Structure 1
């Protein structure tokens, strides 16, 4: 019998941010003295103890898998589109509800990586938003504890009538958490653009729209080249006279090495959703100065917003405050890393007593 089960839409080696998040939970729970079994909704195979529902995805199959594990608590990683076309994963909620009916002492802990989609009337997301809301609300109602990756997601849950308070739990870096990072100007003078095609494309479009500001940004941090990490994307050979080197998709350890040797990390992300950005988490975990280029980068991010520079309006402070901001970002991340998240989920699942000594204890500042 295992201690806990987690449910995820995908799992490595499948490329999926939520799957990566779930995979990193496994060794952290082992450090806490618990075995974490994984039920994956989609692809075969999974590399850890677990089961795939690929080809047999249904409420009954999920209930059977949960019962078969013998676990008394379930951690559900929720992102509707990962579980069903158009995000309409009714089977997930029905399966969890059935398991809870048959095991009333069991606990369900849900992490809302997404809540529901919205869009203009000509987009499918407009027409599926209402049933997506109902699914998210029903899942929140059968959960004993809920976490969400951003303040925006918490507001969405409140709006649809989810019970109680859903605590914001920022995502952590999927490409490692080095114990030590070098000061900003002790690093090689390079910048990184990291992520999927859409995210990186928006970064390059923003740089192209603002050539004068881009030159100042790179000059103030003395950047002499830009490294592109991610799936193939057609980009300019040079930006603001700096060469752009495409590194392609790299394993996590290579991404980590590159970030540790870089000064500047560029992204384009809504400012009020930054706590759900795995790219920003990776930058902060590695002590990189994070610069958000999005048009809405300065949107309020809540009381615990991660330190970074938002938009080109913040350019005047970069040369003087860049190292301080990078250090503050790394310190902020230390309070939200994978070990901290694992402890919070372990506590929420209520399956045992946390160890308090040795390697299992989080840093005092993370408590």
Structure 2
């Protein structure tokens, strides 16, 4: 069995969506014998024409004609699209992509298009381009929902919108919070056996937000948990990082997946500044959960979204008096997050995709 997976980029580019698709392809091959041919849609991407046995084609110009020329002519072919508008067009409006898929899909009633919606559309203030382009982004996402045989997404809120977009066509839309792109270790040491180290991991922008907007909460976390060092993992932030109120900050730079996994397994806590109503689509939160790290959020929410509950699945320094002396309570939070993650880990997701691809 063979599927086509459409992605913006693949490794070696640093792209969470590309990593997601590649890890999924490996698991589909391992568990179900489903092979993948990738189509990379970033003309500037530089990579091999084959990655670990998966053939890779590349769109050299954004046009419907170019896309159609790369898609299989087989009248019974299956295409899995990983959709986020900004991954395929600078302003988040990949008209060329949707038009190309529509033409390919219309050429045979037996062709299957499955779309994983990682994002739907953007919104913003009137002086931002996203405000004015939002109607077109909505239109494109709705077109994709209606032309797809099946839809999947990462947030329950997105699933409700997709149901409306599809005009009732899709009544059962699987919701799959993202899995960890840096692995899922089989053995998880308890917090008591870990270094008193806090990790700040993720994209440059997200980590800059931690240091620029959440420094006081990062400091409070370090004091409450007895943190002895903070390890910053990822491309350089461009900020001058040395200490947080006496706690040294170690800039690790870009690390391999294996290195990051090893660091997380031996760290007490992982800190983030992210919209807690959308944690289910955070690869950083997924990595923390999969490695049994105590997830620490600079933000809070009164809502339970995608099964994630504040103070049950992540720790909040603003609203907690818990310290390292209450390690049992902190361990309970880390365990809850780990158990929540296991309900949608990579093998679970591969099974769900296999059931929806053919």
Q: Which residue of 2 aligns with 1:171?
A: 178
Take 2:114 and 2:131, find their aligned partners in 1: how far apart are those partners? 28
Which segments of 5 or more consecutive residues in structure 2 lack a partner in the other structure? none
Q: Which residue of 2 aligns with 1:57?
A: 62
The two structures, once aligned, show a CA RMSD in angstroms of: 2.0
Is this contact kept in 2: 1:287–1:326, CA < 8 A? yes
Take 1:99 and 1:327, find their aligned partners in 2: how far apart are those partners? 46
Take 2:272 and 2:304, find their aligned partners in 1: how far apart are those partners? 16
2:230 is the alignment partner of 1:226: yes
Question: In structure 1, which of residues 338, 345, 361 is the aligned counterpart of residue 353 of structure 2?
Answer: 345
Is this contact kept in 2: 1:271–1:301, CA < 8 A? no
Take 1:206 and 1:185, find their aligned partners in 2: how far apart are those partners? 30
Q: Which residue of 1 aligns with 2:130?
A: 125
Q: Which secondary structure does the structure 1 equivalent of 2:71 belong to?
A: helix
Q: Which residue of 2 aligns with 1:300?
A: 303
Deviations 1:216-274 (A, max 9, x none): x3243331110000111214311132111000011111111111110100001111100
Take 1:33 and 1:328, find their aligned partners in 2: how far apart are those partners? 33
Q: Which residue of 2 aligns with 1:150?
A: 155
Question: In structure 2, which of residues 43, 46, 60 is the aligned counterpart of residue 44 of structure 1?
Answer: 46
| Pairwise CA distance, 1:162 | 5.3
2:286 is the alignment partner of 1:281: yes
Take 1:103 and 1:340, find their aligned partners in 2: how far apart are those partners? 31
Q: Which residue of 1 aligns with 2:193?
A: 186
Between 1:101-110 and 1:125-134, the stretch displaced more is: 101-110
Q: Which secondary structure does the structure 1 equivalent of 2:69 belong to?
A: helix
| Pairwise CA distance, 1:107 | 1.6
Summarize the Cα distance change of 1:100–1:272 in structure 2 as closer, same or farther, 3 Å threshold: same
Q: TM-score, normalised by structure 1?
A: 0.88
Take 1:112 and 1:21, find their aligned partners in 2: how far apart are those partners? 13
Take 1:57 and 1:29, find their aligned partners in 2: how far apart are those partners? 29
Deviations 1:152-210 (A, max 9, x none): 43344356565434332111111111111100111111000001121112212344244
2:277 is the alignment partner of 1:272: yes
Question: In structure 2, which of residues 343, 346, 350 is the aligned counterpart of residue 335 of structure 1?
Answer: 343
Summarize the Cα distance change of 1:140–1:299 in structure 2 as closer, same or farther, 3 Å threshold: farther
Take 2:323 and 2:293, find their aligned partners in 1: how far apart are those partners? 13
Take 1:67 and 1:344, find their aligned partners in 2: how far apart are those partners? 24
2:20 is the alignment partner of 1:21: yes
Take 1:341 and 1:210, find their aligned partners in 2: how far apart are those partners? 34
Q: Which secondary structure does the structure 2 equivalent of 1:86 belong to?
A: coil
| Pairwise CA distance, 1:318 | 5.1
Is this contact kept in 1: 2:294–2:331, CA < 8 A? yes
Q: What count of residue pairs does the alignment treat as equivalent? A: 344
Q: Which secondary structure does the structure 1 equivalent of 2:199 belong to?
A: strand
Take 1:100 and 1:36, find their aligned partners in 2: how far apart are those partners? 19
Is this contact kept in 2: 1:117–1:125, CA < 8 A? yes
Take 1:282 and 1:30, find their aligned partners in 2: how far apart are those partners? 22
Q: Which secondary structure does the structure 1 equivalent of 2:337 belong to?
A: helix
Is this contact kept in 2: 1:285–1:330, CA < 8 A? yes
Which segments of 5 or more consecutive residues in structure 1 lack a partner in the other structure? 351-367
Q: Which secondary structure does the structure 1 equivalent of 2:179 belong to?
A: coil
Is this contact kept in 1: 2:280–2:306, CA < 8 A? no
Take 2:11 and 2:278, find their aligned partners in 1: how far apart are those partners? 25
Between 1:156-165 and 1:114-123, the stretch displaced more is: 156-165
| Pairwise CA distance, 1:151 | 2.9
Q: Which secondary structure does the structure 2 equivalent of 1:14 belong to?
A: coil
Summarize the Cα distance change of 1:317–1:168 in structure 2 as closer, same or farther, 3 Å threshold: farther
Take 1:235 and 1:71, find their aligned partners in 2: how far apart are those partners? 55
